[in-house]
Structure 1
């Protein structure tokens, strides 16, 4: 039986299964899930997990990475944050925290195992699915190859699926080494985004 979407959002927002895990991180933070989806969404954005700024704001991609992602998609914040048009469903709904060296911790698998089949079933098939980064590639495609190899094969994916490196500004060197991303992949993505939002596939 498919979950009611509004009830599912509230259940995720109330989730505290990682409270002890997050309390043991360098940031010692409490869970703050960021469910950002609604019925009828035309685009599904699937990334890794919220960062610290998203955790603080309670809004996905509320940072410079989001600015770059929206530029790649060819849309502004008003469209991106309309949950009936764009759903953001990361591999984990909470900021996982930092390790002792200050690096991002990986998204806890328990979040995917607890929530994601329910969210994806409730949303149904969207015309466009955008997968961002290695964690999303492994979860959604079962593809554990290095990010560069998966992204380089973007044209071989089934219609309606795109893969992207993380839009973090720390990936600028990656983009310089792989100019096909912004020269070829991004223009195709913008066309697909426009088609999905206008009702096409």
Structure 2
């Protein structure tokens, strides 16, 4: 194991043992991340849902099925950390609010995000899903998810903003058929090239 791989293994062990948000979390903290220095694609999402918290597997639900469909890959490829890193804005389940899950816990970004991103030296594209990840990764350009996604060519192929793949976004997808017609085919082609 190289020094970089050992440093990342140590960092991931620290992340997985983190309990900083314990007093404010609805459940016992269980950070859910998948990071490997060899990853070619980064999925920057919001935070694990309750199912991911329980299983320890990110996107192990209908959102993951849809995201894998958009990417044109199977489960084995998706969960191969040597190909795809999954690094949400908040690593633990934040709880449920009146209209879905609460925003990601804020503690993870200052503690863990920079060193984990620094360990990803090979990734060729982040897929940025959801408003919180888009605000962090795209800065001042963030705000209106539809506008960011519609303007996908402006950051292509170095970054791409995606709507959250949750079934809660079915209405958005129905109102924006250009996403599946234009963005998804380009995304599949680029993902295949990065992983080949």
After superposition, the CA RMSD in angstroms is 1.6
What's 1:14 paired with? 17
C-alpha distance after superposition, 1:22-61 (max 9, x if no partner): 0xxxxx3111001211121011010100000100110010
State the alpha-carbon separation in 2 of the partners of residues 74 and 120 from structure 1.
24
State the alpha-carbon separation in 2 of the partners of residues 153 and 13 from structure 1.
36
- The structure 1 segments of at least 4 consecutive aligned residues displaced by more than 4 Å after TM superposition are none
Q: CA deviation at 1:144?
A: 2.8
What's 1:25 paired with? none
User: Helix, strand or coil for the counterpart of 2:126?
Assistant: strand
State the alpha-carbon separation in 2 of the partners of residues 146 and 32 from structure 1.
31
Is structure 2 residue 26 aligned with structure 1 residue 40?
no
C-alpha distance after superposition, 1:77-106 (max 9, x if no partner): 00000000000001111111123x363111
* Deviating more after overlay: 141-150 vs 43-52: 141-150
What's 1:133 paired with? 130
Structure 2 gap segments, 5+ residues each: none
Contact 1:3 1:118 (8 Å CA) reproduced? no
State the alpha-carbon separation in 2 of the partners of residues 125 and 77 from structure 1.
21
Contact 1:2 1:121 (8 Å CA) reproduced? no
What's 2:150 paired with? 152
Structure 1 gap segments, 5+ residues each: 23-27
Contact 1:132 1:164 (8 Å CA) reproduced? yes
Aligned counterpart for 1:55 among listed residues 53, 56, 60: 53
Q: How many residues align?
A: 192
